[in-house]
Chain A
Amino acid sequence: MEINVITSDATYSHIALVGKLDIAGVGQIENKFLGYTAAGKKNSIVDLSGVTFLGSMGLRILLSAAKSLKQEKKKLILLNPQPLVNEVLEASGIGDVVAIEHDTASAVAQAQA
């Protein structure tokens, strides 16, 4: 599991996750992930195109980050999930708290708004 930082400026952060978000994967990136999203207190884009699996512990950190940001009136935007991951996101009902975007430009526009 890897985290790549694409943008991290005053207005928003944009990171990409790569690998399997299962229990082991989450363990490797949890602190760093929450550092770039929840702790940053700014709109955050998380590119999921490199995530091949999203398990319940993976959903948990996405939800934790989304809820922390929501308290700060900031957004978590999930970008380009693969079809299988998208299915898990849809079934989880997490769509109530996060935006799921399939277009980078519009995700960035939302994050900068």
Chain B
Amino acid sequence: MDATPESPTGQPARRSRRPLDQLFGSDEVAATKKRIRSALGRQLFEYVLEQSTDRPKTVTGRLLIVDHDRLNTDILARNLQRDGFAVETEEAGPAALAHLGRGGFDMILWAVDLPTLKGIDMLSKIKRDPALRHLPVVLLAGPQDTDSVVAGIEAGAEDYLRKPFNPALLKARIRACMERKFLRDQEQRLLATIKTQQQRLDEELKEAADYLKSLLPAPLSEPFAVQWCFVPSSELGGDSFGYHWIDDDHFALYLLDVCGHGVGAALLSVAALNVLRSGAMQGLDPRSPQAVLSAMNQAFPMEQQNNRYFTLWYGVYQPSTRKLTYGSGGHPAAILHQPGGPAPKKLLARGMMIGGMPGSRYPEQVCEIPPGSRLFLFSDGAYELTLEDGRSFTLDEFVPLLGTLPTDAPVDLDVLLTQIRALRHGLPLEDDLSLISIEFK
């Protein structure tokens, strides 16, 4: 900042002080100013106090006064009782702690006992006790007890009052203290409610996620190896998939991805998956991808699914003919790696997202599966990644990655997942990721 005389750097103030300093000496000037300031402060405080004590006295509560001076205690107690506080009294020492243990107090007025500082000792005990530590403690100090007040504040006392008390000041301080305590209590209750609800939600989400996972099929090793990995981007994902034998010669394989992710997406995903798993569509041939996709499109129009649609890749493999028939509702291509090095094949079929448009057609494709081929079916979360430089990773870059898996060993999807994660440089994945591999014999 530019240190011109007009700037708020303190320069003008220093300049105007100089003539006074020269006349009276700087210490004297400073002391006088301090006196004026503190007198002004006191007047202001007393004015505010007057105003505030005129308010309706709504804040009351239960107090414990701990003091060995019975007379003082009784006067104080009567005074506060007249103002609506419930007051109990107790001798200092272990009896006071026991009394507090009965509970229900809102604050403590604690006399500090010089020179033993026994009160301070008790105060530390209160502040270490989880059941009592939230209770505000106001120290009652003698006129000269500066050291004990300092020690008391350090030990956790909220405030202090010097004897003899100004009644108005005493009540104002007690009220302020209690108001703070009530607010804290309210906060604690809210926090506890939030914690309980969060815990319940977490448990329910976990249960839902476990349910979704329980619907996913077990890996297969015969007659060909089928494996998968599934990484939802939040507790619940919108991806789901499955495979099963329709009959001895037809193996169905499918993966669906509901737009968006989270609970809303997962619910639709589970509903659609259950239909596909059970093949429960009346009069429908589950061996025909075209028929399955059309029926799903008819069953799940987005207008009836909270405006959500999903993409679905559905294929049926027939071992007797080595033919894979497949169709897709807006889903990215599956990738076929063939032995001997021809370029990987994109198994892409045209078709509108499922639920997108009534009456959409889903023409199916047929592909020959040479022995030793590997098929990879995945959701777009596997490759739609934002790279460190902000650029988006693409399907065309992802396909060669699939080719880097060693061909002389079984597919290890963990290796692939590690490579995908490495592209994110330690950041979490942005979308649900599902990936299925089949190693045809």
Whether B260 lies near A56 (C-beta < 8 A) is yes
Q: Which 10 A-B pairs have the closest CB atoms?
A: A93-B352, A56-B259, A92-B330, A93-B351, A53-B392, A60-B259, A93-B330, A57-B260, A63-B356, A57-B259
**Cβ of B184 to closest chain A Cβ, rounded Å:** 37
CA distance A52 to B384 in the complex (A): 12
Q: Give chain B residues whose Cβ lies under 8 Å from the Cβ of A31.
A: none
- Whether, in the assembled complex, B329 has its beta carbon less than 8 Å from a beta carbon of chain A, the answer is yes
**Residue of chain B at shortest CB distance from A92:** B330
Known: A57-B260, A59-B259, A60-B307. A91 touches B330 (CB 8 A): yes
- Whether, in the assembled complex, A39 has its beta carbon less than 8 Å from a beta carbon of chain B, the answer is no
CA distance A68 to B316 in the complex (A): 35
- Whether, in the assembled complex, B274 has its beta carbon less than 8 Å from a beta carbon of chain A, the answer is no
Whether A96 lies near B260 (C-beta < 8 A) is no
A-facing residues in B417-435 (Cβ within 8 Å): 430-431
The B contact surface, by secondary structure, is: loop
Q: Give chain B residues whose Cβ lies under 8 Å from the Cβ of A67.
A: 357
Q: Give chain B residues whose Cβ lies under 8 Å from the Cβ of A93.
A: 329-330, 350-353, 356, 360
**Residue of chain A at shortest CB distance from B257:** A56
**Residue of chain B at shortest CB distance from A90:** B350
Q: Which B positions have Cβ atoms within 8 angstroms of A?
A: 257, 259-261, 302, 307-309, 311, 328-333, 348, 350-353, 356-357, 360, 380, 384, 392, 394-395, 430-431
Whether A63 lies near B309 (C-beta < 8 A) is yes
CA distance A90 to B352 in the complex (A): 9
**Cβ of A23 to closest chain B Cβ, rounded Å:** 6
CA distance A64 to B302 in the complex (A): 9
The A contact surface, by secondary structure, is: helix
Known: A93-B353, A96-B352. A87 touches B395 (CB 8 A): yes
B-facing residues in A69-93 (Cβ within 8 Å): 84, 87, 90-93
- Whether, in the assembled complex, A97 has its beta carbon less than 8 Å from a beta carbon of chain B, the answer is yes
- Whether, in the assembled complex, A94 has its beta carbon less than 8 Å from a beta carbon of chain B, the answer is yes
**Cβ of A31 to closest chain B Cβ, rounded Å:** 14
Whether A60 lies near B352 (C-beta < 8 A) is no
- Whether, in the assembled complex, A55 has its beta carbon less than 8 Å from a beta carbon of chain B, the answer is yes
- Whether, in the assembled complex, A22 has its beta carbon less than 8 Å from a beta carbon of chain B, the answer is yes
Whether B430 lies near A22 (C-beta < 8 A) is yes
B-facing residues in A84-113 (Cβ within 8 Å): 84, 87, 90-94, 96-97
